[in-house]
């Protein structure tokens, strides 16, 4: 299966993507700031609410407590507001916050650690900063800007044009609407192209995680939207896809362009799951073929994600004369470290923090649905081990444990940002339910399985 030849095809695609990213970033940075001034002020007022610091918004839903990370939402909006339209290329590459031409006096470069607030504050206050920057409050004039150049901040190419039309309050509603429409389309396609049980369990996993509520956060919804779009593309174009690793190379690259290291694993795990559900619908392959295919997809996604990220560092260093490559590498080491100050991040600590934000209700709901699957299987007497496609289940089990590997690898990041990294467990929940459903043969009612081993995968 010569899926990596010629390599030039992958290089060519990445070059095209980078050129598109640059064009989108520069064009969106050329939007006059006076066009987003009004909605930026409204957005800051809405985020801040009645609190001096609303970086973490806690709300009781009908199901569980949700922690909205407004810290990053405010940062993204501040970065959009701080673009200098007269220097679009430099602005897009440096990605500053708190920058006001003629006012800013101190220019802080990107560091290996997280962003801090201006010296006006004695604590982290992204929402407060955004408010005072947009309102140009004379009692709290902020003269310090901070670069965040190690990320692409591709969301700016969408956020800045939208801010011309809407404030953040309406952007939240638009985000929820977009997410809901994409989720419905994906679920319907799964119902038609795969089977009813996979589609039902898919949407149930989103309900379990209260994803409809959190989809209003532009920080947290980004990877969900990329993931759903990738799912829909694979569901629609499955028969015509000749090179699935190339698809995942593109998905990985797009993820790095738009996301700020929130939930990138979603855009690999869920589309991979969908692809294998389609792949194994009428085929039984041996474990070597499934594993080789899975590894190729994983490598392609990682290459797309990693190279896209590295190119941003190189561009900033070459064009803006910064030392972002060194800073970014130190940041990676920092994020995979096992400590923060005096706090030691053992794996048990990291896992418990994420489970804490997941909530007992989600665990109970997951157990409840699992019991229904197994109970129904017993009643229907569907437990026939001879029908189990072990290689297929092996892939799903690997996908199910990916969030736990993520927590182990990025201990620092997963502990500090457990408020949103716990949402990666939607992967494990869905995969666990599907493994149970496959074991009990729920999908056998809706398809005829070819009993012969599928020895020759078509050229991908």
Q: Check residue 453 and give its pLDDT.
A: 38
pLDDT bin (cut points 50, 70, 90) of residue 68 is confident
- The stretch 357-376 carries a mean pLDDT of 90
Q: In the structure, what pLDDT confidence band is assigned to residue 210 with cuts at 50, 70 and 90?
A: confident
User: Are the C-beta atoms of residues 65 and 359 closer than 8 Å to each other?
Assistant: yes
Per DSSP, the three-state class of 275 is helix
Supply 73's token pair. 């939402």
Q: Provide the H-helix boundaries in 30-69.
A: 37-48
Token code pair at residue 297: 């997809």
> Which residues, at least 6 apart from 61, have a Cβ–Cβ distance to it below 8 Å?
210, 213
Helices within 381-445 (DSSP H only): 390-409, 411-416, 418-421, 425-439
Least trusted range by pLDDT, from 6-15, 132-141, 198-207: 132-141
- Confidence (pLDDT) at 19: 97
Percent of the chain, pLDDT > 70? 90
Environment class of 338 (CB within 10 Å of its CB; exposed 0-12, middle 13-18, buried 19+)? middle
**How many helices (H) and strands (E) would you count in the chain?**
20, 7
User: pLDDT tens across 243-297, in order?
Assistant: 999 999 999 999 999 999 999 999 999 999 999 999 988 666 677 888 999 999 9
> Where on the phi/psi map is residue 124: left (φ > 0), alpha (ψ -120 to 50), or beta?
beta
Query: What is the predicted pLDDT for the residue at 45?
Result: 92
* Mean of all residue pLDDT scores within the chain: 87
Q: Which residues pair with 68 in a beta bridge?
A: 57
Between CA 311 and CA 299 the distance in angstroms is 18
Higher pLDDT, 438 or 285: 438
Asked whether the beta carbons of 238 and 379 are under 8 A apart, the reply is no
Place of tokens 């990320």: 151
d(CA 437, CA 387): 12
CA 64 to the chain's CA centroid: 22
Rounded to whole angstroms, the Cα distance separating 190 from 203 reads 10
Burial class (CB in 10 A: 0-12, 13-18, 19+), 131: buried
Q: How many CB atoms lie within 10 A of CB 37?
A: 13
Tokens 């229907």: give the residue: 380
**Shortest CA distance to 21 belongs to which of 156, 149, 140?**
156
- C-alpha pair distances (Å), 281 with each of 245, 389, 438: 20, 11, 11
């Amino acid at each position: 299966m010569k899926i990596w030849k010629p390599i030039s095809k992958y290089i060519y695609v990445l070059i095209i993507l980078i050129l598109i990213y640059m064009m989108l970033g520069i064009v969106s940075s050329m939007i006059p700031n006076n066009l987003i001034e009004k909605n930026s002020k409204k957005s800051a007022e809405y985020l801040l609410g009645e609190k001096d610091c609303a970086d973490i918004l806690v709300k009781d839903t009908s199901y569980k407590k949700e922690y909205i990370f407004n810290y990053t939402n405010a940062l993204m909006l501040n970065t959009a507001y701080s673009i200098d339209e007269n220097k679009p290329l430099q602005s897009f590459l440096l990605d500053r916050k708190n920058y006001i031409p003629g006012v800013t006096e101190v220019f802080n470069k990107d560091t290996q650690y997280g962003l801090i607030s201006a010296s006006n504050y004695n604590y982290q206050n992204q929402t407060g900063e955004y408010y005072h920057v947009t309102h140009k409050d004379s009692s709290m004039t902020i003269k310090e800007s901070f670069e965040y150049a190690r990320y692409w901040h591709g969301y700016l190419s969408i956020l800045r044009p939208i801010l011309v039309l809407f404030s953040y309050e309406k952007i939240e509603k638009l985000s929820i609407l977009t997410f809901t429409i994409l989720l419905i389309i994906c679920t319907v396609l799964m119902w038609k192209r795969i089977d009813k049980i996979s589609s039902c369990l898919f949407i149930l996993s989103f309900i379990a995680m209260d994803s409809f509520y959190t989809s209003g956060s532009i920080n947290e919804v980004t990877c969900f939207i990329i993931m759903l779009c990738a799912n829909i593309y694979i569901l629609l174009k499955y028969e015509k896809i000749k090179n699935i690793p190339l698809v995942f190379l593109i998905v990985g690259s797009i993820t790095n362009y738009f996301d700020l290291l929130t939930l990138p694993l979603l855009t690999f795990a869920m589309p991979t799951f969908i692809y294998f559900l389609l792949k194994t619908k009428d085929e039984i392959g041996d474990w070597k073929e499934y594993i080789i295919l899975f590894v190729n997809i994983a490598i392609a996604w990682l290459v797309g994600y990693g190279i896209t990220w590295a190119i941003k560092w190189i561009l900033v260093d070459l064009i803006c004369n910064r030392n972002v490559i060194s800073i970014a590498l130190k940041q990676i080491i920092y994020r995979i470290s096992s400590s923060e100050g005096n706090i030691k991040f053992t794996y048990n600590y990291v896992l418990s923090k994420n489970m804490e934000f997941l909530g007992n209700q989600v665990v109970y709901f997951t157990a409840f649905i699992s019991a229904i699957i197994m109970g129904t299987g017993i009643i229907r007497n569907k437990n026939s081990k001879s029908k189990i496609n072990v290689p297929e289940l092996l892939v799903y089990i690997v996908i199910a444990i990916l969030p736990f590997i993520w927590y182990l690898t990025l201990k620092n990041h997963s502990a500090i940002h457990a408020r949103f990294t716990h949402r990666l467990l939607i992967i494990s929940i869905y995969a666990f339910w599907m493994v149970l459903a496959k074991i009990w043969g729920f999908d056998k009612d809706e398809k005829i399985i070819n009993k012969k081993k599928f020895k020759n995968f078509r050229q991908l």
